[in-house]
Structure 1
């Protein structure tokens, strides 16, 4: 939908466009002022007009309504980005569904970038992961919804009123000076230059995101670092431009799970293959049946990434191996094997595993068993006592057998989270 800054949309022209926030494969997202409430702002997701996108958006609205109405007093309800309503807007391309959400700040990816990919201090990581698990507890237990795309880009930071006012003032300053705003503020398509909320979209991903995804994160920088002072403290930088220590995150940081655009019901799946690659569960790779445990696997990947700045699994295709085969090899090395009954449980198992349950194209002598605890100690120089607790948490969330994998409820009781400093 072509959008102009200052344009009004919605019933009775209720919302005025302030600037663009982000974009996904079938939508753009805009910062809008609610003219009926007086300086109240929302994020409005405007969906492409093609019928296929409308169908997906209508499914998302059903999921969002369930989340909003199911049990507002339940634990974890306030850890999901709040959906308000939707309306239809018209353009020369047809009718566009427009979904209205509470306005949030940047995603966790931006904190990872700010850490120079060294990770965050553990107290911050524990607080963030605890909040994500509470959100999943509500989605899974109360709503019977599988998110299917838990990753840093889909966990957004809650921001306070001054932060929002500053964003609006930034746009107003452009207008006062008569200076043309950056394309990223106004263009209804994609953009070229990265801005506060923005990263280049990874076309290989399956995700329909509100806040776009990254290119190879080890090659990405975040040019606009002003926002970080709202959530974290400055860090000393060595001459090689790497932090002396992980990024300190404000202990009071609040986050919420965003983007149910790829979510599904426990008993009604919309796709066989879900999740962004690096966070994809074992059962999804081999195309076994999946459910809530797939989200839990992604939380483990996220906990490791927030703690270290690196992916837990970052599979790469090569001349001899597909991406999925490399992924399975990485999982095998980290878990010291995959039980044969799990290896043979998927529709694609015969492509990857022998009849005895070993990997077809990766021989045992070419694999190095390197468990999470040892990775943290050997590669990241963690103290063994600290590595043991995080490794125990992660391994319970990437248990190959979904029936034995920790639930959100059980994960919240793990000793690693029990050590949060609550003062």
Structure 2
């Protein structure tokens, strides 16, 4: 989950039965933490391990994101790991110029469900996932894509080259704009006074049983209405609507595209990888699927997938399982259709290679591949100009090399001509 995001997990509310021993800490607006230093303002989001709140840091007169971990030992252990990584990140970036989330403080908070480790991070805005949705999955102006890519690469260069840290879960959800898309959600720009104490009869605002149940019922009702609408459309009631182009993209003028890399809960040091399976499915590198080991170049693969998604509004790879083949095999097939046949050494070099490839380096169950180059895809499907498609493909293609050791580093990508020129609008 985006650790300091104003978007957090956007789909559903957290489970109410997770507010128990070992689980979440129930927070009310106006609750104070760390001997009164931080006051809870509103909930920003939640993840499987924690809830995240906007809080006001009284001594420093600033808003922060307060991440409150579940209290069971395994969650406390995960938080300790994240604090260790974030502390190293903060120590090496005193000027806050490296485009990574900053840890401000951490402490323990005792509540009825146990002792919760808490992290205080700088308050940031919406995730790039929220930006893509806000833009209605339309193409983002390439100058804006370039601006975002520069920030992400500065962050990755710092993590990889200076700290020897692999993020392991880079994706639009884990990159946050420095301020919210909607200025009314920005606690500073909105001009509202901070809440400094609990209001009379203050609700749990997301921790309370009633609030969560009401939201769940509303969501269920919305889904039912959507199902009825889609059924009506398929029966002929809305055929013209279905045939129309999608809604036009929104104007993104005035939105600050500067961003930071967040969520280091799964990050690891280069010399201490602790999981074989890393990365969210659509951003997963081929060497990870094949269990062939990984290093910082796995993050670069995820970066290229993210850059493509920003520029087009669609995921680069969205694999599905099918009749007689797995999601993994479909993923490898999609990669090869776009990037060409995987070198035999790579195809046969992982602990799981035999699950998918024969000894000639061909997929066992998916035989007919439809090859389509990256620049043709950009022109024919996403209506890029030939020039923009060629230049963007020249930037992305080397990062999507099947051989991890051949991918350029973040530092090398920062010098690429595509990032350092004015693109045609």
Q: What TM bracket, shorter-length normalisation?
A: 0.7 to 0.9
**1:361 pairs with 2:365:** yes
Task: Structure 1: give runs of 5+ residues left out of the alignment.
Answer: 201-218, 220-237
Q: CA deviation at 1:251?
A: 7.7
CA shift at 1:382, angstroms? 1.3
Q: Which residue of 2 aligns with 1:130?
A: 150
1:26 lines up with 2:49 in the alignment: yes
Per-residue deviation, 1:34: 1.4
Measure, in 2, the Cα distance between the counterparts of 1:188 and 1:392.
Answer: 53
Residue 354 of structure 2: SS of its match in structure 1? helix
> Deviations along 1:322-364, whole A, 9 cap, x unmatched?
110100000010111100001111110110100011111111x
Q: What does residue 108 of structure 1 align with?
A: 128
Give the CA deviation at 1:420.
Answer: 3.9
Q: Tell me what 1:324 maps to.
A: 328
The answer to whether the Cα contact below 8 Å between 1:286 and 1:348 also exists between their aligned partners in 2 is yes
Which residue of structure 1 aligns with residue 269 of structure 2?
265
Cα-to-partner distance string for 1:30-85 (whole Å, 9 max, x where unaligned)? 111112233x2110110011111111111111111111113536xx8430011112
Alignment CA distance shift 1:296-1:250 (3 Å): farther
Match of 1:342 among 346, 367, 379: 346
Deviating more after overlay: 47-56 vs 410-419? 410-419
RMSD of aligned alpha carbons: 3.2
Distance 1:36 1:193 in 2: 35
Contact 2:155 2:261 in 1 (8 A): yes
Secondary structure at 2:153's aligned position in 1? helix
Looking at structure 2, the residues matched to 112 and 336 of structure 1 have their Cα atoms a distance apart, in angstroms, of 28
Q: Give the CA deviation at 1:159.
A: 2.1
Classify the secondary structure of the residue corresponding to 1:269.
coil
Normalised to the residue count of structure 1, the TM-score between the two structures is: 0.81
Distance in 2 between residues matched to 1:359 and 1:381, nearest whole Å: 31
Q: So what's the TM-score if we normalise by structure 2?
A: 0.81
Q: In the TM superposition, what is the alpha-carbon distance from 1:186 to its structure 2 partner?
A: 6.3
- In 1, distance between residues paired with 2:271 and 2:126? 32
Q: Does the alignment pair 1:375 with 2:365?
A: no
Instruction: Tell me how far apart the structure 2 counterparts of residues 37 and 65 of structure 1 sit (CA, whole Å).
Output: 20
Gaps spanning 5+ residues in structure 2: where?
1-24, 221-226, 228-241
Distance in 2 (alpha carbons) for counterparts of 1:239 and 1:362: 32
CA distance in 2, matches of 1:192, 1:133: 42
Query: How many angstroms does 1:378 deviate by?
Result: 1.1
Q: For residues 179-198 of structure 1, what are the structure 2 equivalents within 5 Å?
A: 184=206, 193=215
Distance 1:13 1:283 in 2: 48
Deviations 1:343-394 (A, max 9, x none): 111110110100011111111xx21001111101111121111101111111
Work out the CA distance in 1 between the residues paired with 2:360 and 2:268. Answer: 34
Hey, what's the Cα distance between the residues in 2 that align with 1:26 and 1:82?
19
Q: In 1, are the aligned partners of 2:159 and 2:165 still within 8 Å (CA)?
A: yes
**Deviation of residue 26 (structure 1)?**
0.4
Equivalent residue for 1:229?
Answer: none
Contact residue 29 and residue 202 of structure 2 kept, 8 A:
no
Q: Which has the larger radius of gyration?
A: 2
Counterpart in the other structure of 1:64: 86
Secondary structure at the aligned position of 1:45 is classed as: strand
The Cα of 1:2 is off from its aligned counterpart by 1.5
Counterpart residue number, 1:42: 64
TM-superposed deviation, 1:90: 0.7
1:158-237 to 2 correspondences below 5 Å = 158-159=178-179, 163-165=186-188, 169=192, 184=206, 193=215
Deviation at 1:185, TM superposition (A): 8.0
1:89 & 1:171 partners in 2: Cα distance? 22
